[in-house]
Structures are given as structure tokens and as C-alpha cells.
Chains A and B, each alone.
Chain A
Amino acid sequence: MTAHSERGAGPVRRSGPSVLLTLPALVFFATFAIVPLGAAVWLSFTEWSGLGDPTWVGLDNWRALLTTHDTGHALWLTVQLMVLTWAVQTPVSILLGVFLAGRQRYREILAVVYFVPLLLSSAAIAIAFRNLLDPNFGLFAGPGLAWLNQNWLGDPDRVFVTVAFIIAWQFIPFHTLLYQGGARQVPQSLYEAAAIDGAGRVRQFLAITLPQLRYTIVTSSTLMLVGALTYFDLIYILTQGGPGNATRILPLDMYLTGFTGNQMGLASAIAVVLVVLGMVLSLTISTASGFSRMESQLDGE
């Protein structure tokens, strides 16, 4: 983030509006992001139950984080979830987005249907799926569906995939929307030229649409990967990190440690780890993909 804004700041100062205009945003950002972050760093060196005053314990929390606490497991789950949700959502979103970029009437109607999950809050989705998947009173408890009634949320080996599926169900519409917009930006002339050269549909998709969507893919992937560090509400309501610790990913671990276990210091240490992870991740993606250079994809322009 920092490298990005520094590099972008040069041209803005020369040609754009006054830097002073960023002040309101900076003040908000400082109040609601920087100051709490500083407080979390400080709290990570203290022991505090949420009541009374924090006591300074030095590096105890960090030592506990690396040794006794189950951080490794939570981190590994987070990475797995990140990869799994990305691998599931990206291809589906690209295909759906490109499909919906067409202007045919039936596609517009389908688009409305596909975007419905976007309107629901995570809490509502979690409660709905929790009831739908209830092994005794849920959707699959009905006659003829017994083969689908697999204790989706209660089996430690299965719950992870179930959660990834529900997350995909929730977020694919959003990413589809991104890809739909991206696909509609692709100049029609490229396809016409390709058609003259004799390229078929698949070839057009691979040689024109996908390369043209490059920056959309970067944006969407960044949102997905960094977003995976913040999946909390959905999983908290669905499983509370269970069964056992099968879905106890890092953000959930942070919440449960802090607000159920009342170990605010240790939870703050986890929070700091999350912030660092998120920053490293988004910087890496934007640098590696050349996103910050923002070069044009269209030759001759």
C-alpha cells in the first residue's frame, strides 16, 4: 500500500487537485485504523482480561503465540481457505462474468438472479445455511435426499469444504460483477479482428478476453486473498470455529481468544500478525502483477 501511494503521489501533486483534499480521509484513516493498530501493538505486550487495567508482560504473549498457542494450525487453515476459495471462485466468476457480459435479454434476467446473494448479509447467509444443513430438520432431511444429508457442518473432515462452498456462494456474485464490467470494456474490434483471422470462441476467450481481463483478475484476486484474512462473521455463526478446531481460522482464533477466552493481549498479538500478513499479501500481489504500473493493455493507444 505504501509503495503504491508513494509512487502514485508524484503525478498527483503536479497535475491533480491539492493534496489538502486528502486530509479528511487521512484524519479518518488515522483515527479508525492507525490509532487502533497502535493500541493493538501496545496491548500485545500486556495481559488484559477486558476488565481493569492491562499489565505489562513484555514478550510473553508473543512467546505463547509461537509456542503453546495453536497459531500454526489456525494459520495453516487460513492459508488453505485462502487458496481453496480463490481456486473455486476465480474460474467460476470469470466464466459467469464473461457470459453475463453479453447483452442478450435472457442473460440480463439470469444476471439479476445470480446477484441475489449479494443482497444478503453474512449473518443472514450463515443462519440460513445453518438451518438448511441441519441434519434433522434441514433441507436434506426430507424424503429422497438422504444421500445428501451428510452432517456437513458437524464432521471435522467435511466442514472445511462446506464453509468454502458457502463463502463461494456468497462472494461469486460480487466477483462476477467485476468480471462482467471488465469483459464489457474489451473493445469489440479485437474480437472482429480475431474473427477475421479465423479464431474460434475458445481461442478468442483465451487469446483476447483473458489477457484483457488481467487487471480485473488482479483486483478480484487481491480482494479474495486479503478478504480471506477477514472471514469471521460467517464462520463464527456457522461453526464457532468447530467442530473442535476444524474451522478455527486466524481471525476467528483472534476473536475467540480475546472475547471468549478474555485474553486480550494474546488476541492483540494475533491481530498484529493478521495486519502484517494482509499488508505483505496485497503488496506482493500488486508488485508481482505489475498492477501499480497501470500500463495500458491496448496496443496503439
Chain B
Amino acid sequence: MAKKPLRRLGAIVAAGALLVTAGCSGGTDDTGDGAATAAGAGDVTTVWVTAGTDDVLQASIDRWNADHAEGQIELQVFENDPYKSKLRTAVSAGEGPSVFSGWGGGGLKTYVDAGEVASLQDAYDAEPALRDRIFPSVLKGGTVDGTIYGTPYNGVQPVVIYYNKDVFEQAGVEVPTTWDETMAAVEELNAQGIAPFSVGGASRWPYLMWIAYLTDRIGGPEVFDAVVAGEPDAWKDPAIIQANTMIQELVEADGFVDGYSSIDANQGAAEALVYSGKAAMELMGAWAYSGTFLSGAPEFLEQGKLGWTTFPTVAGGTGDPANVTGNLSSYFQVSAGASDAAKANATDWLMHGVFDDTYIAELVDTGAVPPISGVEDAIAASSAPEWNAFIYETAEAAGNFQLSWDQALDAAQAEALLTNLEQVFLLQITPQEFSENMDAAAQG
């Protein structure tokens, strides 16, 4: 926001300069330049994103701006948690950007239902080559009622288990692959004074990954599909109750680091516990690799001490162990309220500037894996080929890629979910009470 008055001031100054020069000597080269600047400043295509791959986007926008004097793009980057309410307020007040980032799913649907998002279907129909390269499961996340509204722009972000190889080696514990092994490892690690799992509980959303994975492993994707569809008693499904019971067993077994409920997930403290060796493992989205591990402890990664694996299987569960949960990708939406020129320019950039070869190469270099088929070469040539290949294969092999629960649900239910799930983790309510509270929130 701080930039806005400045830009307006810039436009006024430019316009004023134009008037002065025009009055003095009509039609010289000076006036021409002034006119171009003023027109450009008034018609900038603004793009709002949350922090993460903004360097790659900025590079793409710089290349675009160099070639398109008439269609300048400006990027504004925001922190994750305040972004949603800021965007909603701005869009509602008609002050929104031309292009904004979102997570698809239920959040996208509310914007589409309010008529705030322009369709990208025609643009995609004109670019079948791009459309067919994007993973179908990911493109589906940007589709509402059969029409494409959101286009993915960064990596697939499945949630995986990160672990500290040194810690496991010194403790003489195997990395768990099943839930029973996990509970055994928790006991063994605790006995040696190492916290088994790190979690950024104060931010609440990291808790969601546990219930999402456990529910899928126990009962398959149908359980949460019923919740999204708003079916009665969907929250009371035995799989959800069992998932919460297992979460509470893990909490009671001291599965989480001391003080986990006051660790802020947005400041990298949860990852710091893993790379500093205080905690053995963390369940976290793929964004943490470049977002916090690489920026917080580059030498830890260089020495190959960071390990990763998929979520453990649960004995007797009906869900496919290849299923994953997480963020499919972040999506760009073009605002329906933007000017026609900005819309056209934005769509042009989204179709041709995002996911061109340079963009893909730079994206892969940051440790993100684009949801685009046939980029194995770029992944092999990247700075972190093993990590990228792991994420790429995990995402591609997943029969069901469940969007993060808070993104898949409407906001009122998501807010109730976060509060109630936190109380489950704090052992303040029982799994049965959780299901009853959520059922009431879903009906209300």
C-alpha cells in the first residue's frame, strides 16, 4: 500500500511535466517521452502474490516489461497470513490488483461466485499446448463449474516429512514408514532426549496436514469429499474420529516438541528445530525446502543432511498410500474489475510469460517443481535434482492430490476447523466433540 500514493504522485508529476513541456514547445521529442511515461504509469498491470517464488516472477516480469513498453507489469509481494483478508478488502472496495494469487478450490469459488474473476477458458482454448502440459489434477484446482479461472504459476507443493539424517543416525533409529513404526520411533527418540516432531502450532494451519493425511490414509479421499459436498454428518465419519484419536495418542506420547503450541510457522522456527537437531522430523509442505531450509541453513542442505519421505502408511486403512495432500499450486486469477487493456495484457503474460522455458528453469532452481509434464530434463539439470525428482514423482504418482483442507472449505468452516483442531492438539476436546462442533459449523 505504501507504494500506491507514491505511484499516484509519480503519475501526477509526470502529467504535470507533460503539461509544462507541451505548453512551452508543442510536439518535440521530450513531450513524446513524457506522454509515454504518463500513459504507462496510469495503465500498469498490478500483480499481487504471497512471498515464495517472487524472485522468479520478478525476473519474468522484468523480461516482459523490457519487451512491452505499453504493457508494464508491477509485482507486489505480501506475507502469507494477512494476505487473504487484505485481498478481500481491496477487491471488495474496488481497489484490487489486475491479477491476484490464490490457492484454488473453495477460496477461488467464492471469488468466482461474487463475479470478481474473469474467465481464462478462452485464453486456454487458444493455447491447447500449454493446457495439455499442465497436470490435470492441478488444472482442476483452478477450475470452477467446468470453466478455468485460475492458472497455476509455481510448484506443486505436496506435504512431506522432512527429517534430519544425523539425528536418526546418531539415535540409531530407522525413519518410520508406517504409523506403528512412527509411534515406536517417537518413544525411542524421546528416550534419547530428542523431540520427534517439530510443528508450528501457533499458526494453526500446520495441524491440518496431520488430520488431512491420517483421514486419507484411514478412509480414503471419499471422507473429505463428503465434507466438501456438505453432506450431513460428514464430519462424524469414523475415519475422522480415528484420525483425531491417533493425533491425540501422538500428543500424549510426547510426539511433538516442547512448546509446539507457541511456535510460529511463519518465521521458520519449526524448520530451525529440525536443522539444529533439536527435533528429528517435521511434516510440512514442499515450500519449506526453498522457503526456510535453503535460506535458513544452506550448508545443512549442501552436506546432504536433510532427508525427506512420504507420510507413513496406516495399517488397515483403505486410502491409497500414494495419495498426498498439500497445495496443488498457487494460481493467478485475472480480476473482472481490471481495465480491458490490463486484462488483455495480464492474460497475454500468464499464457506466454509464465511457464516459458526460462521461467521453468528458474523455478526448478529454487527447489520448486512446476505442475508441467515433460520437464524431467530441467529437473535433472537443477541445483537440487534429488529433491525435485522426489516431489515431481510424488505429485505425478498421486491418485488423489487433496487440496489443503482450509483452502478447500469455505472461510467460516475453515476458521471453525482451525480452532477446533487446535483444541484437539491441546487435548482440550475429544475427537467426538471435534466432530460434533464441526458438524454444527457446517450446518450453520
Q: Do B264 and A130 touch across chains, with their CB atoms under 8 A apart?
A: yes
Residues of A within 8 A of B415 (CB): 256-257, 260-261
Q: Which residue of A lies closest to B115 (CB)?
A: A52
Fill in one digit per residue for B139-159: 1 if any A CB lies within 8 Å of its CB, else 0: 000000000000000000000
Cα distance A149–B258 when bound, in Å?
Answer: 10
Cα distance A137–B259 when bound, in Å?
Answer: 11
Cα distance A68–B438 when bound, in Å?
Answer: 12
Least distance between B274 CB and chain A CB atoms (Å): 11
Q: Do A49 and B269 touch across chains, with their CB atoms under 8 A apart?
A: no
Fill in one digit per residue for A64-91: 1 if any B CB lies within 8 Å of its CB, else 0: 1000100000000000000000000000
Interface stretch (choices A20-28, A222-230, A237-245): A237-245
Q: Which residue of A lies closest to B428 (CB)?
A: A244
Q: Which residue of B lies closest to A137 (CB)?
A: B269
Residues of B within 8 A of A151 (CB): 258-259, 261-262
Q: A51-B91, A239-B202, A262-B412 are in contact. Are A135 and B262 (CB under 8 A)?
A: yes
Q: Does any Cβ of B come within 8 Å of A152's Cβ? A: yes
Q: Do A263 and B263 touch across chains, with their CB atoms under 8 A apart?
A: no
Among residues 188 to 245 in chain A, which have CB atoms less than 8 Å away from a CB atom of chain B?
Answer: 239-245
Fill in one digit per residue for B153-183: 1 if any A CB lies within 8 Å of its CB, else 0: 0000000000000000000000000000000
Q: A49-B114, A136-B259 are in contact. Are A244 and B426 (CB under 8 A)?
A: yes
Fill in one digit per residue for B82-109: 1 if any A CB lies within 8 Å of its CB, else 0: 0011001101100000000000000000
Cα distance A259–B414 when bound, in Å?
Answer: 12
Q: Do B115 and A134 touch across chains, with their CB atoms under 8 A apart?
A: no
Q: Do A244 and B423 touch across chains, with their CB atoms under 8 A apart?
A: yes
Cα distance A120–B416 when bound, in Å?
Answer: 33
Q: Does any Cβ of B come within 8 Å of A108's Cβ? A: no
Least distance between B330 CB and chain A CB atoms (Å): 19
Q: Which residue of B lies closest to A150 (CB)?
A: B259
Cα distance A239–B422 when bound, in Å?
Answer: 12
Fill in one digit per residue for A91-134: 1 if any B CB lies within 8 Å of its CB, else 0: 00000000000000000000000000000000000000010011
What 7 pairs between A and B have smallest CB-CB spacing? A135-B259, A154-B262, A154-B261, A51-B114, A261-B415, A153-B262, A262-B411
Q: Which residues of B contact A (CB under 8 A)?
A: 84-85, 88-89, 91-92, 110-111, 113-116, 201-202, 204, 257-264, 269, 272-273, 278, 410-412, 414-416, 419, 422-423, 426, 428, 440, 444
Given contacts A152-B262, A156-B428, A262-B88, 8 further A-B pairs with CB under 8 A are A51-B110, A136-B258, A153-B202, A240-B202, A242-B419, A245-B419, A257-B415, A260-B84
